[in-house]
């Protein structure tokens, strides 16, 4: 099979990887890039567990053909915070009890981040809309929505400083 | 009792940081050197005999390293559920399946499996396996499967045509006398759908076999110890040479892997043994739908005798459940259905008969609630019918009849605590119940309020055996390590067990380390199911921590030259209760003991009692009479959970249960076509709730004192969806005056009913 070199800016750093034409962006991330934080829940773009941010937009990486990510800016759960400085969403997901099994969490956080990056003052409805493509079977979504609201507040406070 | 230092507080969950950062390891994330990828060939027919299977071409495909089918795998029968581990004589476990068989009994049944260097090659190889089938007659409905002409799925069954295990019969008082005393008798039959657990991580296992035959399996199981027994039995190995563990996280469970993760574990082991390399098997979402247990569908009939004043004189129930093609938990589920259904209301004369029936559909097994939601949809719908006929308020008839501590019931353990009346009253206040009956009935959007109540268990006994063990080891620096075999599938088990350890020992929560869900480093423990982990595993942890504490205090008494009975541990310090000046940091006690060659190792071994949690669910709905659409405006769930060790975790369990209950009520259903194929085998065809479908959810925690547990804990994991569906159905009736006897109540059904 013909192979090609995929170049992208992954979590702020340029990377190059050899890919096969059938590969999805998720295959590349979870494959030899070793970024297993992005999960595969269905492989058909129906559950959102594989959500990453591509050029500022939340996408289901399991249905993005890898070549489509050529020269794109990709953000994954591994790139948004550190133990010393968590992203506000990571902070509030922990604080609010928005994490149960944790399998939807990375995708959920990335969908929420894509929203908050554009709109740090979302309504509850806008939050629901933003994560409507992310299935969580554990939490009933209530604490997830609370966590996103609280993260929005944190981000606003940080900006005011 | 001392004021608790750790329990009752929302401490930071031990698993949350890793999960928030994406560094938590799940089975699907595991990669080992030389690891192969396993894929499964599944039956396209609902019932067929394999006349011939030729794997030659698949074996020759470059990159393929193992091909297995019924010809080269153990002919040892088992049950994928953990049931065979706990079935207590004289009952016998139903072991009715092989890893692969020469007969396939549902669309999706395992025919063969391949291990190859990549998933793509494994998938190509599946297409090269040539199978010749002879189709056999198939049956999909449990009532039809009991007819004389229906095919026998597993040959003759001793309890009746296609009936796995035993028929369940429960009885209290004199049912005939009870009906004779009644002023009115009500009888209704309800139909329940197939619901899917739809946990986010599909069934998965990674198996590694060493040259000398030791087997390690990382998997998504909720019960590592029972799963080890099943795997060791299939492959004829000593239990001590098989290790089953979570890695350590599981992407949800909801009952779907109490026992094996469908067949991921034995298939991975069979492939790994043949290939002599590690093999990873991850089910696709479609496989997870079609070839992994579902909730039981079926029929529940309730007949109730009642006095004019609303007093129940007799209740008779019958449950007939669809087992699907293999037994799994189908022998136990009808028992829980009947026992829970009959234990909510005091009624002197009760009877239940129930069983499952094999059909050529995906096996039904455990799902959160385990028969109880089926029972309560029927009972709670009927209670409202009775209340209306007698002109009594739905809350009043419930409050008048609910079980009280000390009442007689069908269960072999006593009802020792109930906060149900408080749940009903607090829930009613939160939903503003007095508005009921005062909504405007003229427009196209009609509002209604409904209620449903129920109970559940706090562990699996008496429905099967139940016990737990744990070790607590004090480290040389005064920190403590807990080893418990129970998984944490997102329910906060590890956090709550660490809280309990810290509480008993007087050690800071931050100093508790936990190993969990690993058969090699923990003593036998059943696992995470039956709402039992905080109650039963928690009891073992209390016992282990108390044992360790006693050893610490005995040693410290010698060190400090005081009586051990005078000592306690607070804030990581051993201190005299009569003279606070006499004290020693636990770190000092531990290191002194260490230097003298001693370590404090606590062992906890318990056989739990059982205890009833209680719940009252309230729904406010708005029905669009033009479209049939039901919108839930608010749900309130008031739960007596005993002592809430971590209230935030409890709320999370209740919210999650409610969401699944809302799905059960309004949208979730797997249907089959006439060829036995699932019509709803993926997320886009199976309508489970997303964030936009979930209304405001209010969880209210009621803490009735439960004497059977050292901290007064009761079960909570499953209760969140026990009465959600009837609360919604009753609210819909209140809104539009239409009674539904079948779930889910889809917009189409509402629309049709309104047109009629």
Residue A1 has a pLDDT of: 53
Burial label, B308 (beta-carbon count in 10 A; 0-12, 13-18, 19+):
exposed
User: Per mean pLDDT, which range of A17-26, B17-26, B510-519, B614-623 is the poorest?
Assistant: A17-26
Three-state secondary structure call for residue B445: strand
Please tell me whether residues B354 and B455 are part of one structural domain.
Answer: yes
Residue B40 predicted with pLDDT over 90: yes
Burial label, B309 (beta-carbon count in 10 A; 0-12, 13-18, 19+):
exposed
Of A44, A99, A129, the CB nearest to B16: A99
Q: How far apart are CA B611 and CA B416, in angstroms?
A: 7
Q: Which residues pair with B513 in a beta bridge?
A: B481
Mean pLDDT of B714-740: 98
Per the CB < 8 Å rule, is B691 touching A101? no
Contacts of A37 in chain B (CB under 8 A): 21-23
For B619-632, write each residue's pLDDT tens digit: 999 999 999 999 99
Residue B753 has a pLDDT of: 98
Of A41, A86, A136, the CB nearest to B20: A86
Can you tell me the ipTM of this complex?
0.98
Give Cβ neighbours of residue A6 (< 8 Å, ≥ 6 apart). A16, A17, A18, A19, A28, A66, A67, A69, A70
Domain A88-160 has CATH 1.10.150.120: yes
Mean pLDDT of B95-115: 98
Give Cβ neighbours of residue B728 (< 8 Å, ≥ 6 apart). B450, B619, B621, B630, B632, B661, B662, B665, B666, B745
Contacts of A142 in chain B (CB under 8 A): 655, 694, 697
Q: Kindly report whether the global pTM for this prediction surpasses the value 0.90.
A: yes
For B441-465, write each residue's pLDDT tens digit: 999 999 999 999 999 999 999 998 8
Q: In the sheet that B601-606 helps form, which strands lie side by side, from edge to edge?
A: B512-516, B480-484, B468-474, B601-606
Mean pLDDT of B316-336: 97
H helix or E strand, kind and range, residue B159: none
Instruction: Please answer whether residues A94 and B12 qualify as being in contact, where contact means their C-beta atoms are separated by less than 8 angstroms.
Output: yes
For B684-701, write each residue's pLDDT tens digit: 999 999 999 999 999 999
Q: How far apart are CA A50 and CA A29, in angstroms?
A: 10
Q: Which band of pLDDT confidence, cut at 50, 70 and 90, is reported for residue B87?
A: confident
Question: How far is CA B663 from each of CA A48, A140, B541, B621, B667, rounded to the nearest angstrom?
Answer: 19, 11, 35, 14, 5
Please tell me whether residues B509 and B565 are part of one structural domain.
Answer: yes
Give the chain B residue whose CA is nearest to the CA of A94.
B16
Contacts of B201 in chain A (CB under 8 A): 39, 41, 101, 103
Please tell me whether residues B490 and B538 are part of one structural domain.
Answer: yes
Q: Where are the domains of chain A?
A: 4-79, 88-160
Question: Tokens 């395992």 identify what position?
Answer: B110
Residue B2 predicted with pLDDT over 80: no
Per the CB < 8 Å rule, is A100 touching B652? yes
- b/e map of B317-349 (b: 16 or more CB within 10 Å)? bbbbbbbbbbbbbbbbbbbbbbbbbbbbbbbbb
Q: How far apart are CA B24 and CA B6, in angstroms?
A: 25
Among B606, B623, B649, which residue terminates a domain?
B606
Could you tell me how many CB contacts below 8 A there are between chain A and chain B? 168
Contacts of A129 in chain B (CB under 8 A): 692
Q: How far is B118 from chain A (nearest CA, A)?
A: 11
Burial label, B148 (beta-carbon count in 10 A; 0-12, 13-18, 19+):
exposed
Candidates A35, A80, A129, A142: best to mutate against B (most CBs of B within 10 A) is: A142
For A54-100, write each residue's pLDDT tens digit: 999 999 999 999 999 999 999 999 999 999 999 999 999 999 999 99
Please tell me whether residues B382 and B448 are part of one structural domain.
Answer: yes
Residue B84 has a pLDDT of: 76
Residue A49 has a pLDDT of: 98
Pairing type for strands B48-54 and B103-104 reads: antiparallel
* Residue B152 belongs to some domain of the structure: no
Query: Which CATH number do you get for residue B36?
Result: 3.90.1170.50
Please tell me whether residues B577 and B494 are part of one structural domain.
Answer: yes
Q: How far apart are CA B209 and CA B451, in angstroms?
A: 54
Give the chain B residue whose CA is nearest to the CA of A98.
B652
For B256-307, write each residue's pLDDT tens digit: 999 999 999 999 999 999 999 999 999 999 999 999 999 999 999 999 999 9
Per the CB < 8 Å rule, is A139 touching B655? yes
Three-state secondary structure call for residue B190: strand
Three-state secondary structure call for residue B134: strand
Q: By residue range, what is the domain housing residue B118? A: 31-136+200-252+257-290
Among B549, B573, B606, which residue terminates a domain?
B606
Please tell me whether residues B344 and B225 are part of one structural domain.
Answer: no
Query: Which CATH number do you get for residue B588?
Result: 3.30.365.10
Fold adopted by A4-79: Ubiquitin-like (UB roll) (3.10.20)
Give me chain A's average pLDDT, please: 96
Q: Which of B3, B7, B1 is nearest to B512 (CA)?
A: B7
What is the percentage of chain B residues whose pLDDT exceeds 90? Answer: 97
Mean pLDDT of B572-582: 97
Contacts of B651 in chain A (CB under 8 A): 97, 143
Half-sphere exposure of B46 (CA within 13 A, CB side): 21
Q: How far apart are CA B431 and CA B740, in angstroms?
A: 23
Question: How far is CA B548 from each of CA B555, B566, B604, B619, B710, rounded to the nearest angstrom?
Answer: 11, 17, 9, 47, 16
Quickly list DSSP for B640-706. E-BS-SSHHHHHHHHHHHHHHHHHHHHT--B-B-TTS-BS--STTTS----GGG--EEEEEEE----
Per the CB < 8 Å rule, is B684 touching A46? yes
* Residue B163 belongs to some domain of the structure: no
For B330-355, write each residue's pLDDT tens digit: 999 999 999 999 999 999 999 999 99
Please tell me whether residues B434 and B317 are part of one structural domain.
Answer: yes
Contacts of B22 in chain A (CB under 8 A): 35-38, 76-78, 105-106
* Residue B575 belongs to some domain of the structure: yes
Please tell me whether residues B356 and B402 are part of one structural domain.
Answer: yes
- b/e map of B634-662 (b: 16 or more CB within 10 Å)? bbbbbbbbbbbbbbbbbbbbbbbbbbbbb
Please tell me whether residues B616 and B669 are part of one structural domain.
Answer: yes
Q: How far apart are CA B459 and CA B532, in angstroms?
A: 4
Among B573, B606, B639, which residue terminates a domain?
B606
Of A43, A97, A105, the CB nearest to B649: A97
Give Cβ neighbours of residue B483 (< 8 Å, ≥ 6 apart). B470, B471, B472, B473, B514, B515, B516, B521, B522, B523
* Residue B684 belongs to some domain of the structure: yes
**First-residue to last-residue Cα distance in chain A:** 54
* Residue B178 belongs to some domain of the structure: no
Give phi and psi for B710, each to the nearest 5: -55, -30
Please tell me whether residues B680 and B653 are part of one structural domain.
Answer: yes
Distance of CA B598 to the CA centre of its chain: 41
Q: Which residues pair with B382 in a beta bridge?
A: none
Candidates A10, A11, A101, A127: best to mutate against B (most CBs of B within 10 A) is: A101
Mean pLDDT of B482-489: 97
* Residue B735 belongs to some domain of the structure: yes
Please tell me whether residues B435 and B518 are part of one structural domain.
Answer: no
Per the CB < 8 Å rule, is B17 touching A83? yes
* Residue B164 belongs to some domain of the structure: no
Please tell me whether residues B116 and B231 are part of one structural domain.
Answer: yes
Q: How far apart are CA B326 and CA B361, in angstroms?
A: 9
Q: Which band of pLDDT confidence, cut at 50, 70 and 90, is reported for residue B1?
A: low
Per the CB < 8 Å rule, is A100 touching B490? yes
Instruction: Please answer whether residues B256 and B362 qualify as being in contact, where contact means their C-beta atoms are separated by less than 8 angstroms.
Output: no
Token pair, residue B705, equals 């004192």
Q: Which band of pLDDT confidence, cut at 50, 70 and 90, is reported for residue B577?
A: very high
Helices (H), B440-512: 493-505
* Residue B483 belongs to some domain of the structure: yes
Contacts of B652 in chain A (CB under 8 A): 97, 100, 138-140, 143
CB atoms within 10 A of CB B185: 14
Token pair, residue B267, equals 């298939």
Q: How many structural domains compose chain B? A: 3
């Amino acid at each position: 099979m013909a192979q090609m070199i995929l170049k992208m800016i992954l979590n702020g750093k340029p990377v190059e990887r050899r890919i096969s034409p059938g590969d999805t962006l998720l295959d590349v991330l979870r494959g030899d890039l070793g970024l297993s934080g992005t999960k595969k829940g269905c492989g058909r773009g129906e559950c959102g567990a594989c959500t990453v941010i591509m050029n500022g937009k939340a996408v289901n990486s399991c249905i993005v053909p890898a070549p489509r990510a050529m020269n794109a800016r990709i953000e994954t759960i591994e790139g948004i915070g550190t133990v010393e400085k968590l992203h506000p969403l990571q902070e509030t997901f922990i604080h609010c009890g928005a994490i149960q099994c944790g399998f939807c969490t990375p995708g959920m956080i990335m969908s929420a981040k894509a929203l908050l990056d554009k709109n740090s003052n979302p309504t509850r409805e806008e939050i629901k809309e933003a994560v409507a493509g992310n299935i969580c079977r554990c939490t009933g979504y209530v604490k997830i929505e609370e966590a996103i609201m609280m993260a929005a507040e944190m981000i606003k406070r940080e900006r005011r400083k | 009792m001392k004021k608790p230092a750790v329990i009752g507080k929302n401490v930071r969950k031990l698993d949350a940081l890793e999960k928030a950062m994406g560094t938590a390891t799940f089975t699907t994330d595991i990669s080992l050197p030389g690891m192969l990828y396993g894929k499964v060939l599944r039956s396209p027919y609902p019932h067929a005999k394999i006349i011939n299977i030729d794997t030659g071409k698949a074996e020759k495909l470059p990159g393929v390293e193992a091909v297995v089918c019924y010809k080269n795998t153990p002919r040892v029968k088992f049950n994928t559920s953990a049931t065979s581990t706990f079935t207590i004589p004289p009952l016998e476990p139903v072991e009715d399946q092989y890893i692969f068989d020469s007969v396939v009994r549902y669309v999706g049944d395992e025919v063969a499996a391949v291990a190859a260097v990549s998933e793509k090659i494994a998938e190509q190889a599946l297409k090269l396996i040539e199978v010749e089938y002879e189709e056999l007659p198939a049956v999909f409905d449990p009532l039809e499967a009991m007819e004389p002409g229906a095919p026998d799925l597993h040959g003759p069954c001793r309890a009746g045509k296609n009936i796995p295990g035993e028929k369940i019969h429960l009885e209290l008082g004199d049912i005939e006398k009870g009906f004779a005393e009644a002023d009115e008798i009500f009888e209704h039959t309800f139909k329940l759908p197939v619901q899917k657990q739809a946990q986010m991580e599909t069934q998965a296992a990674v198996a590694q076999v060493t040259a000398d035959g030791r087997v390690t399996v990382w998997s998504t199981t909720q019960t590592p110890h029972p799963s080890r027994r099943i795997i060791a039995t299939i492959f004829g190995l000593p239990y001590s040479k098989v290790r089953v563990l979570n890695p350590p996280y599981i992407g949800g469970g909801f009952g779907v892997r109490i026992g094996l993760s469908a067949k991921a574990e034995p298939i991975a082991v069979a492939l790994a043994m043949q290939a002599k390399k590690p093999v990873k098997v991850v089910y696709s979402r479609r496989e997870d739908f079609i070839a992994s247990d579902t909730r039981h569908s079926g029929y529940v009939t309730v007949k109730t005798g009642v006095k004019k004043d609303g007093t129940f004189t007799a209740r008779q129930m019958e449950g007939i459940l669809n087992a699907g093609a293999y037994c799994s938990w189908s022998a136990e589920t009808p028992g829980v259905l009947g026992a829970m259904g009959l234990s909510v209301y005091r009624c002197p004369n009760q009877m239940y008969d129930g069983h499952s029936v094999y059909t050529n559909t995906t096996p039904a097994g455990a799902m959160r609630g385990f028969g109880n939601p089926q029972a309560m949809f029927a009972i709670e719908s009927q209670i409202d019918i009775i209340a209306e006929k007698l002109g009594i308020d739905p809350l009043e008839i419930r409050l008048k009849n609910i079980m009280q501590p000390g009442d007689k019931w069908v269960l072999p353990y006593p009802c020792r605590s109930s906060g149900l009346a408080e749940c009903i009253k607090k829930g009613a206040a939160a939903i503003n119940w007095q508005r009921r009956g005062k909504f405007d009935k003229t427009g196209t959007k009609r509002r209604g309020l409904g209620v449903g109540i129920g109970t559940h268990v706090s562990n699996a006994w008496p429905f099967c055996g139940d016990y737990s063990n744990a070790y607590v080891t004090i480290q040389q620096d005064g920190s403590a390590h807990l080893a418990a075999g129970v998984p944490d599938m997102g329910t906060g088990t590890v956090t709550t067990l660490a809280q309990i350890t810290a509480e008993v020992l007087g050690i800071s929560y931050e100093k508790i380390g936990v190993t969990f869900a690993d058969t090699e480093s923990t003593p036998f423990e059943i696992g995470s199911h039956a709402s039992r982990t905080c109650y039963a595993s928690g009891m073992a942890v209390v016992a282990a921590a108390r044992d360790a504490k006693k050893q610490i205090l005995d040693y410290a008494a010698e060190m400090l030259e005081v009586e051990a009975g005078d000592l306690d541990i607070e804030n990581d310090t051993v201190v005299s209760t009569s003279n606070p000046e006499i004290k020693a940091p636990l770190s000092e006690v531990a290191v002194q003991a260490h230097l003298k060659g001693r370590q404090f190792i606590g062992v906890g071994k318990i056989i739990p009692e059982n205890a009833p949690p209680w719940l009252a669910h309230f729904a406010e709905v708005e029905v669009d009479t033009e479209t049939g659409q039901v919108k839930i405006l608010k749900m309130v769930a008031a739960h007596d959970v005993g002592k809430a060790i971590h209230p935030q975790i409890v709320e999370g369990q209740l919210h999650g249960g409610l969401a699944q209950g809302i799905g059960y009520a309004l949208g979730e259903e797997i249907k089959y076509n006439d060829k036995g194929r699932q019509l709803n085998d993926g997320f886009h065809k199976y309508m489970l709730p997303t964030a936009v479908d979930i209304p405001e959810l209010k969880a209210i925690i009621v803490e009735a004192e439960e004497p059977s547990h050292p901290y007064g804990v009761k079960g909570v994991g499953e209760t969140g969806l026990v009465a959600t569906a009837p609360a919604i159905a009753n609210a819909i009736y209140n809104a539009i005056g239409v009674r539904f006897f079948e779930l889910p109540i889809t917009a189409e059904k509402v629309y049709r009913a309104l047109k009629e």
